[in-house]
Structure 1
Amino acid sequence: MPLYKVYLDQVFLGNLVMNYAILWTAAKLSRAPVHTMRLIAGAALGAAYALAVFIPGAGFLQSVWFKTVISAGIVAVAFSPVTVRMFLICLGSFFLASFTLGGLAIGIIFYLNSSRMSSWEGIGKVIEGNFWPGILLGLTALWAAGRGFAALLKKGRFENLFRIPILINSGGKQVRVEALLDTGNQLKDPMTQNPVVVVEYNSLKPLLPEEVQAGLERDGEADIWSILSSLSESIHISRFSAVPFQSLGRSNGMMLGFRPDELVIERQGKLTSPGRVVVGIYRNKLDPEGSYQALLGPNVLELTG
């Protein structure tokens, strides 16, 4: 039986680099917030597991169930705290990125080999000889593919897959906006637990009372509690609430929630209503190019059946 010399530092470093790239890719695919130190911690856990498989008599570490548990642990370290649904999306994205990058690296390693292989020993030597070139070229290919996909998205090539028109009705008035289907938007109104659709203020302005418009158009950061206080004796007070969020470019934020009479989604030429939803009012532009004005989470689409 052939013997192989394994350098554990190379195994750890190689897996650390690969795991970080996989987690970063998973974050982009799932639209989860990226925290560099958390990604490094998750990557380090995966790299430590790669070393653990060399422990004598620890064959159970290579079982499917244990690999699944470790994968879930890596994702939890990298992305928690998130909702169960978002965790599953991150986990699925992690597996997709893992298989893609792993396949790229292995394919490139054997593509670089020009000699004939006739045994497992020969395969081992090929992997050992082309390990780092395979990883680096695999990472480069994954980065290039990601950039290309992002460029196609920016040009609107997949617009019909991710853009959904929505109509918002309130007080006899209606506005129409283009919403981006955003898997990272899992916001809920803390009072009603209804899902939140984030919409730009400028698009919603015709539906909002003057007190709200005045509060949101003041210089500096909007004081949500002051706006709610100004509505204390208004018939509109029941329509508004404070909605905490940890995305949209900041953490521990607060936006004004608005409950319209109805929100209608246009899908495949049909109009459907998800029922009770809350509209989160976002003061700035969601897209610098203005191609969409709202963020629609998959939890809202589920309510339409």
Structure 2
Amino acid sequence: MYIYADVVLVVNFIMNSIILAVTAYAAGISFRWYRLFLAALAGGMYVLIGIFPELKILYGTAGKLIVSVALILAAFGRRPVKITIMLVGIFFIVSFALGGATLGWLYFIQSESPYWSDSNIQISWKTLAVGSAVAVTLLVFLARRMLSSMFRRKTFYRAKIEYDGRCEEIVGMMDTGNGLYSLLGRKPVVLLAWQSALNLVGSQVASYLTANSSEAWLARLDECKDSVWLARVEIIPCQSVGGKSMLLGFRPDSITVMTEEGLAYTSEVLIGLYDGVFGNGSDCQALLHPALITSFNTTKEAGVCALPGR
């Protein structure tokens, strides 16, 4: 029997990359592609251990569990224990679904019974690709819907946004359907009611936003005289009910969200200005991205500006 190590490594690298990417999407967390690819490569190298009988202990149930946890940590970094356990669970669900979908597709396209003596299971690149596409489609549209119920138990969070020495305290709703990321650096996007941003951005920007309609914010950016804020402006493409549209966004210094486990802090975020109302009859001022509480470590310190109620 011949084993082509390069083929095994490439196939498993591709499959691991797909599994880890779908795991991140299903959990609603952000990630860095280079870390994900390095973890996928490490997973591919782990498969090659099977050719060494003296290392068979690593192929046991305990060994596979340890390696899976290591891959999650390598791909997504150190996170709270609950989040890590959730990611490992999703990782296994995605792995089983992907393998099952590939095998199911193989049996679906076979024209002969697998019980006939001359019938062998042959997995080609095309079969692997189609089976993977079927699995990814199912997972993206079904798994995330089921997992989103885990986050809806606690919908509203208190948070603070800091920008250029100013601080705005808000109440935000965690939106599990918010999949917006910036074009540059793949930062999660928080949609903030523009009225709540007036005290945060300064008088020049506030005057500019107030003097123009939301539809004209992008077209008339040259009217804003705040060069510091303009240097942080980014355009956010999004999908709306009427089709594709663009939102005006800017990079704050940081955002801190109060959670049960402490304060989730990050500077890797983008604020999108929204001309609308969140939550009828509530005090909600923003739609928070789920990555804000699943992607970053928590801390017990509130920082310079105290959160509401503290």
TM-score range, shorter-chain basis? 0.5 to 0.7
Q: 1:11 to 1:52 in 2, by over 3 A?
A: same
Residue 14 of structure 2 is aligned to residue 17 of structure 1: yes
Residue pair 1:166, 1:177 contacting (<8 A) in 2 also: yes
Structure 2 counterpart SS, 1:58:
helix
Return the match for 1:111 from 103, 108, 111.
108
Unaligned 5+ residue runs, structure 2? 159-169, 180-189, 207-224, 230-248, 280-285, 299-310
Structure 1 runs (4+) deviating above 6 angstroms are 158-161, 276-283, 286-292
Following superposition of structure 1 onto structure 2, how do residues 1-305 of structure 1 map, counting pairs within 5 Å?
Answer: 4-118=1-115, 125-126=120-121, 129-145=122-138, 148=141, 162=152, 166=156, 178-181=173-176, 200=192, 202=194, 204=196, 214=203, 217=206, 219-220=226-227, 254-255=253-254, 284-285=271-272, 293-295=286-288, 297=293
Residue pair 1:30, 1:183 contacting (<8 A) in 2 also: no
Q: CA deviation at 1:180?
A: 1.6
Mapped to 2, the partners of 1:147 and 1:91 lie a distance apart of 17
- Cα deviation digits, residues 127-161 of structure 1 (max 9, x gap): xx2242332112211343356559x97xxxx8998
Amino acid at match of 1:89: M
Unaligned 5+ residue runs, structure 1? 169-174, 185-197, 223-247, 264-272, 301-305
Residue pair 1:17, 1:43 contacting (<8 A) in 2 also: yes
Amino acid at match of 1:98: S
Q: Give the TM-score normalised by structure 2.
A: 0.55
Mapped to 2, the partners of 1:56 and 1:288 lie a distance apart of 63
When Rg is computed on C-alpha atoms for both structures, the one with the higher figure is 1
Mapped to 2, the partners of 1:6 and 1:79 lie a distance apart of 31
Q: 1:179 to 1:138 in 2, by over 3 A?
A: same
Residue pair 1:109, 1:134 contacting (<8 A) in 2 also: yes
Residue pair 2:157, 2:174 contacting (<8 A) in 1 also: no
RMSD, aligned α-carbons: 5.0
Mapped to 2, the partners of 1:291 and 1:163 lie a distance apart of 18
Q: CA deviation at 1:201?
A: 5.7
